[in-house]
Structure 1
Amino acid sequence: MLKWTIDQDIILYQLHESFAPRYAELVQENKQYLSQWLNWPRVCHTTDDFKTFIQGSRYKYIDGDGLDCAIEYRGELVGNIGFNSIDHELKKAEIGYWLGQQYQGNGIITRVCRFLIAYAFETLNVEKVQIAVAEDNLPSRAVCERLGMTLEGIISHQEKVGDRILSHAIYATFSPSISPSNTTPST
């Protein structure tokens, strides 16, 4: 199992089946909160559901298409983050995450996203990292803005969550090696 120490408070672990019971517990504790912005808590909330998710995550990792990690904060599993997709042809990765409501406000997601963005540029050799968040999810939008990401636009009617149709705000950042001066042909 891969492990990355982010700082004195946070460790990321590549998903392992042993995390499934804690994930199920965490989602049960936060189901109403998570269901505001995510559709999957309505259908993925038991230990068996998370075992299936973790198995699928391993296949994505083996195929080079994604990476999901458990977030440990001060010794407790508190959420999940990773690359929902890695497109090697387009040199682009998309970060997705969720965190138990009681752990918000500690800078956890901002710190972990900062690490994953650097990892994407330095290890995965992608040129663009993006995060898609519900347009009205102000805490997640604030994460993107703290990270210095650029709002590329709003895509309307992007996802159905419960009985609501949500629009997504798309934020992106580019590898430092991809600056406007590097993409313009010289004369």
Structure 2
Amino acid sequence: MFTLDVTEEIKLALVQDSFAKLYAPLVAKQQTYLSQWLAWPSFCQTEQDFQQFVQRSLHEYADKKSVTCAIFYQDNLVGNIGLHEINHDLQRACIGYWLSEELQGKGIVTLSCQKMLEYAFGTLSMELVQLRAAKENTASRAVAERLGMSLEGIISRNERVQDRVLDHAVYALRKSDWQEKHSEK
């Protein structure tokens, strides 16, 4: 199984069938919170829904279009992170994630994103990684800024989530900027 060790307490693992039974109750518990910013929670609720999600994710991984990982914190599944829209021609990908509300503020997402960026720029040879977040999602926008990403712009009316139409802030990080930042350490 593909795994990335972030810290002793945080691990990223490529999604697998056995995770479906873990996702369903977690997302059910986080339904209201996740639905503020994400469209999929109202459509993905049962173990069978998550089985389909895992299978689709594994097919996209096999096709080199995405890398979707579960986030484990202290051996418990607590969220998801992935690289999607991987374009090997343009050497570009997008990063996305979600985390249980009660675990926010512990650095789990920022550290997990750093590990995925390392994977994107190193293993996958990407030259650019984007992060898109709702304009009003200050927590995700702060993650992008902590990662050293630059705001590229705002896309108006980019996504419908529940009864709202959201604008998206688009952030990006170039491989050269990532390398420069990490060579200073």
Give the Å deviation of 1:9.
1.2
Give the Å deviation of 1:8.
1.2
Instruction: Report the secondary structure of 2:176's partner residue.
Output: coil
Percent identity at matched positions? 48
Summarize deviations over 1:144-170 as a string: whole Å, max 9, x none.
Answer: 011110000000000000000000000
Distance in 2 between the 1:58 and 1:75 partners? 22
Q: Does the aligned pair in 2 maintain the 1:95–1:129 contact within 8 Å?
A: yes
Which letter does structure 2 place at the counterpart of 1:6?
V
Give the Å deviation of 1:45.
1.1
Q: Does the aligned pair in 1 maintain the 2:4–2:115 contact within 8 Å?
A: no
Match of 1:122 in 2: 122
Distance in 2 between the 1:28 and 1:178 partners? 36
- CA-based RMSD: 1.3
Distance in 2 between the 1:141 and 1:114 partners? 15
Match of 2:5 in 1: 5
Give the Å deviation of 1:102.
1.0
Which letter does structure 2 place at the counterpart of 1:130?
Q
Which letter does structure 1 place at the counterpart of 2:59?
Y
Which letter does structure 1 place at the counterpart of 2:100?
G
Quick check: 1:107 aligned with 2:101? no
Aligned length: 179
TM-score normalized with structure 2 length: 0.94
Distance in 2 between the 1:3 and 1:131 partners? 22
Match of 1:40 in 2: 40
Instruction: Report the secondary structure of 1:61's partner residue.
Output: helix
Give structure 1 stretches of 5+ with no counterpart.
180-187
Distance in 2 between the 1:106 and 1:177 partners? 25
Q: Does the aligned pair in 2 maintain the 1:127–1:178 contact within 8 Å?
A: no
Distance in 2 between the 1:11 and 1:135 partners? 29
Q: Does the aligned pair in 2 maintain the 1:33–1:101 contact within 8 Å?
A: yes
In the TM superposition, what are the counterparts of 1:130-145 in structure 2 within 5 Å?
130-145=130-145
With over 3 angstroms needed to count, the CA separation of the structure-2 counterparts of 1:177 and 1:107, relative to structure 1, is closer
**Structure 1 residue ranges (4+ consecutive) displaced by more than 2 angstroms after TM superposition:** none
Give structure 2 stretches of 5+ with no counterpart.
180-185
Match of 2:83 in 1: 83
Distance in 1 between the 2:128 and 2:7 partners? 24
Give the Å deviation of 1:177.
7.6
Distance in 2 between the 1:36 and 1:177 partners? 32
TM-score normalized with structure 1 length: 0.93
Give the Å deviation of 1:4.
1.2
Match of 1:184 in 2: none
